[in-house]
Amino acid sequence: MTAPEAGRGIGGGGYSAEETTTFGFPRDTFRILHVSTGNVCRSPITERLTRHFVAERLGVLGGGLIVESAGTWGHEGAPMESHAETVLAEFGADASGFVGRELLDEHVIRADLVLTATRDHRAQVISMGHSAGLRTFTLKEFTRLVRAIDPSTLPPLEDGVVMRARALVRAAAALRGWLLAPTAEADEVYDPYGAPLTFFRSIGDEIRDALDPVVTALTGVPART
């Protein structure tokens, strides 16, 4: 297994040998993996918006939270689509330094939470094994479950983002099967690849709206008005 490329996580370096795992990451981390098809449109937007929104809530990056992405048919080494970069810039998020990746077993093994663009992506991740079922959701599915969780039942932010995030995933997994989507399409984020900028913007808005309650639940801090 190899460590992910530099710059994939929110948290940077600066950890001592005693504080890190074999792969150089802090022991007390929570890794979010966003998955789409090519890892050049939807999952890069979701990865970078997650980082951006966490920084907005907390004022800083880090706290053991690592956010990355990959594609089930990932364009390994490819840059982000230009329209995706434009959408991120319009949100004030940083698109620099992104490099596409193909989804590998090691990405799933390390992930504490996998958020996919579609149900097909979710099925592909779960089919890889590694006990991924309880920690893999479509993005919109996870949003629906998170909205039903009483935030007062989660550990306070003073206990750390990592502990709060782990509790959030457990609570969401416990609700699965009870809160079903109104339609099958309700849990999908459709692929804008090859579409005009206007469609990319609409997908960006969908992703933003889905991420907002998730990041609020993770950090315990609502979005700034």
The pLDDT of residue 11 is 38
Question: Could you tell me which residues are beta bridge partners of residue 65?
Answer: 30
**Domains held by the chain: number:** 1
90-to-8, 99, 165, 174, 200 alpha-carbon distances in Å: 21, 20, 28, 36, 11
* Domain-embedded: residue 14: no
* Domain-embedded: residue 43: yes
The pLDDT of residue 98 is 97
d(CA 22, CA 155): 28
Residue 119 CB neighbour total at 10 angstroms: 17
d(CA 211, CA 200): 16
The pLDDT of residue 143 is 97
* Domain-embedded: residue 1: no
* Domain-embedded: residue 166: yes
Domain extent at residue 186: 30-218
Residue linked to tokens 């840059």: 79
* Domain-embedded: residue 223: no
* Domain-embedded: residue 72: yes
* Domain-embedded: residue 208: yes
* Domain-embedded: residue 7: no
- 186 with 74: CB under 8 angstroms? no
Going residue by residue through the chain (225 aa), what tens digit of pLDDT does each one get?
A: 233 333 344 433 333 333 333 334 445 899 999 999 999 999 999 999 999 999 998 876 667 899 999 999 988 999 999 999 999 999 999 999 999 999 999 999 999 999 999 999 999 999 999 999 999 999 999 999 999 999 999 999 889 899 999 999 999 999 998 888 888 889 999 999 999 999 999 999 999 999 999 999 999 988 776
The pLDDT of residue 60 is 66
Q: What is the CATH number of the domain that holds 51?
A: 3.40.50.2300
Residue 140 CB neighbour total at 10 angstroms: 23
